[in-house]
Amino acid sequence: MSASRRIDVGGAHPYPIHVGPGLLDDGAALAAHVRGRHVLLVSDGNVAPRYAARVVAALAAHSQAAAMVSVIAPGEASKSLQGFSELLRELADFGATRDACVLALGGGVVGDLAGFAAACWMRGIDVVQLPTTLLAMVDSSVGGKTAVDLPQGKNLVGAFHPPRAVFADTTTLRTLPDRELRAGLAETAKYGAIADAAFLAWLDANATALLGRDDDALAEAIGRSCAHKAAIVARDPFEHGDRALLNFGHTFAHAIEAEQGYAAGSGALNHGEAVAVGMVLAARLSALLGLSAPADADALAATLQRLGLSTAPPPGLDPAGLLARMRLDKKAAANGLRFILWEGPGRARVVAGVPESSVLQVLQ
């Protein structure tokens, strides 16, 4: 087994990200982040049966804190105000004090919901993120964004609440469904696309190993992705500037996700799959606007395809409907459509006032 690697997030609220096999069993490392007498472990009905008891047992060997496990229903529907108030009720019933710690064990839904409950309980208690999906390991567990959805849109209520630590146990990826693995790989490619041409080339060259769940290849991809995210969020924790680059492909992706319906069936794209399509559309838009070469967009699409991802929008989505969704995107600015556009491998920038006619041309 390979050794763990550590990436440090700097800034006003520094914290470590640990990546490696077996971290969920490292009770001493987990206990080092528990300050008080209460630990609420939040997980979902898919992840809890596999790992919750292991984490609680590992912690108990090194901490006197009482641990309670809260299991939410798997899926985006749990990321609601109702799910949030349920966690607050559990913290209240538990008698959780200001030094309590929430452990968020699962994917992005668990991390966002448990993180938001931790951000609000007694105006903010500790949260340690224990991501078990590749997407959560390389994106949502790092950077402190927490939120729940409203019927009007995703992530509309939330807070920036950095974790005390992140432990990404790579052995959890062995049982991750293939589609979720590929969705996470899309986000790793995003870091290469916006910040690191050499990493993008590395992902392309190592696609077979990554899809084959080679431990070392996955740990390398996670570590390099987290290093990029750590650098960006340390510079711009509240997304006033550079952090927006992390949304490369996301304006198109959010529109696709919204148009197909978040609760859509198994044929619909999941978030990472939609980001893969969105990145290629953003790259084609960039080429149309003269910011990059069309061949760059083709090469990005080829890399994503080698990572097992589809790069064409799902059939049947109406371009005008997608455009209307983009106008409503909370990242849209007052002066027209705002996109993260691409200047070729490793370089991206925020561009406001993108003509709708160009967006429509790319969507058609």
Residue where the block lists tokens 């390099």: 224
β-bridge mates for residue 69, sequence order: 41
- Binding residue (CB under 6 A) for ligand GLY from 246, 258, 307, 309: 246
* Cβ closest to ligand GLY, residue 91 vs residue 246: 246
* CB atoms near residue 304 (< 10 Å): 28
* Cβ closest to ligand GLY, residue 86 vs residue 239: 239
Whole-number Å distance between alpha carbons of 29 and 183: 29
| Span 138-197, contacts to ligand GLY by CB under 6 A | 139, 143, 145
| Smallest separation, CB 213 to ligand GLY (Å) | 24
Q: Please pick, among 18, 79, 243, 284, the residue that the annotation labels catalytic.
A: 243
**Annotation says 187 is catalytic:** yes
| Smallest separation, CB 188 to ligand GLY (Å) | 13
* Cβ closest to ligand GLY, residue 90 vs residue 239: 239
Q: For strands 165-169 and 15-20, give the pairing.
A: parallel
Element of type H or E holding 31: helix 27-31
**Annotation says 180 is catalytic:** no
Q: Please pick, among 18, 33, 79, 145, the residue that the annotation labels catalytic.
A: 145
What is the Rg, in whole angstroms, of the alpha carbon atoms belonging to the chain? 20
Q: For strands 337-342 and 348-354, give the pairing.
A: antiparallel
The interface region with ligand GLY, picked from 101-109, 119-127, 238-246, 287-295 by CB under 6 A, is: 238-246
**Annotation says 190 is catalytic:** no
**Annotation says 90 is catalytic:** no
What's the burial of 146, exposed, middle or buried (CB within 10 Å: 0-12/13-18/19+)? Answer: buried
| Smallest separation, CB 272 to ligand GLY (Å) | 11
In the three-class reduction of DSSP (H, G, I as helix; E, B as strand; rest coil), residue 290 is classed as coil
| Smallest separation, CB 110 to ligand GLY (Å) | 16
Q: Please pick, among 18, 247, 306, 325, the residue that the annotation labels catalytic.
A: 247
The sheet that has 66-72: what strands, in order across it?
A: 5-9, 15-20, 165-169, 126-131, 101-106, 38-44, 66-72
Say whether residue 243 binds ligand GLY (CB under 6 A): yes
Q: Please pick, among 79, 224, 271, 284, the residue that the annotation labels catalytic.
A: 271
| Smallest separation, CB 174 to ligand GLY (Å) | 25
* Cβ closest to ligand GLY, residue 214 vs residue 239: 239
CA dihedral (117, 118, 120, 123) in degrees, to 10, reads: 160
| Smallest separation, CB 40 to ligand GLY (Å) | 23
Here's the x/- map for ligand GLY, 105-144, by CB under 6 A: it reads as ----------------------------------x---x-
Residue where the block lists tokens 């696609």: 207
Whole-number Å distance between alpha carbons of 136 and 13: 20
DSSP state of 196: -
**Annotation says 239 is catalytic:** yes
Whole-number Å distance between alpha carbons of 118 and 87: 9
Whole-number Å distance between alpha carbons of 189 and 276: 8
**Annotation says 79 is catalytic:** no
Q: Which residues bind ligand GLY (CB under 6 A)?
A: 139, 143, 145, 239, 243, 246
Q: Catalytic residue positions?
A: 123, 145, 187, 229, 239, 243, 247, 250, 254, 271
